[in-house]
Amino acid sequence: MQETTPEPQQAQPEAGLRDRKKEAKRAAIIAAAQAEFIAHGFAEARLARVAAQAGVAKGTLYLYFDSKEALFDAVLRGALPLIFAPPAAPDPGTPPQLAFRRRLRAAIADMQASERDKLALIVLSESAQFPGLARIYLEAILEPLFGLVRDYARSSGVARLEPLTRYPQLLLAPMLAATMWNRLMTERPPLDLSEMLETHLTLVLGPPEGEPAGVTG
């Protein structure tokens, strides 16, 4: 019986290293693009500056993203993991409303810390000139969030929350309004988005079951 020679295993580690390098470049490009969009808006953002900040050639950038719109889409989608990633070790005893609140809290905190909340203002101010921005924001951010709200409203079994299945915007609109306020009303103290979220959720959903009063983290 003829013995088979084992295949060399070197190719697999090399392929893995290439993949990690590609992912690192992609992440660097997205981070540089986010800073560029926040600093200059969409119209004035320059991919040459993004590439320079990311430490790649402009031609390399186009291997990952074929347009400025595609890059803006990738930046927006960076806001989603905290919202939709399931907990590492979900506790079946956690009340649904508390689990829902915690996901929104984490998302708002991350968006504030990373300044991604400012991207919504770019969409509002520039979508008349670039209609594709509104579509990207709707598909990348709003529709998934609306789905999350609808799913919670349906699964809660609370009759008064049924309108949220048709108008999930009711739960999320104050966050957008607060973001606009903080950007436009610069002579006034900024609104605390996290505190505003907690207050609004309590008004709409009721007090968080299973969490001590005053706990918001």
pLDDT of residue 130: 94
Residue 55 · residue 61 · CB < 8 Å: no
| Cβ atoms of residues 82 and 102 within 8 Å | no
Q: Give the pLDDT of residue 4.
A: 58
| Total-model pTM | 0.74
Is 19-77 CATH 1.10.10.60? Answer: yes
User: Considering the chain, what is the average pLDDT of its residues?
Assistant: 84
In the block, tokens 């991919």 appear at 47
Regions in the chain scoring below 50 on pLDDT: 217
Query: Which pLDDT score, from 0 to 100, does residue 145 have?
Result: 85
Instruction: Find the Cα–Cα–Cα–Cα dihedral 182, 185, 186, 187, rounded to 10°.
Output: -140
First vs last Cα of the chain: how many Å apart? Answer: 66
- For CATH 1.10.10.60, the residue range(s) in the chain are 19-77
Q: Tens digits of per-residue pLDDT, 78-110?
A: 766 555 555 555 567 778 888 888 888 887 777
Tell me the DSSP string of 97-153.
Answer: HHHHHHHHHHHHHHHHHHTTHHHHHHHHHHTTT-HHHHHHHIIIIIHHHHHHHHHHH
Q: 57 by DSSP, 3-state: which?
A: coil
Write down the pLDDT at residue 11. 57
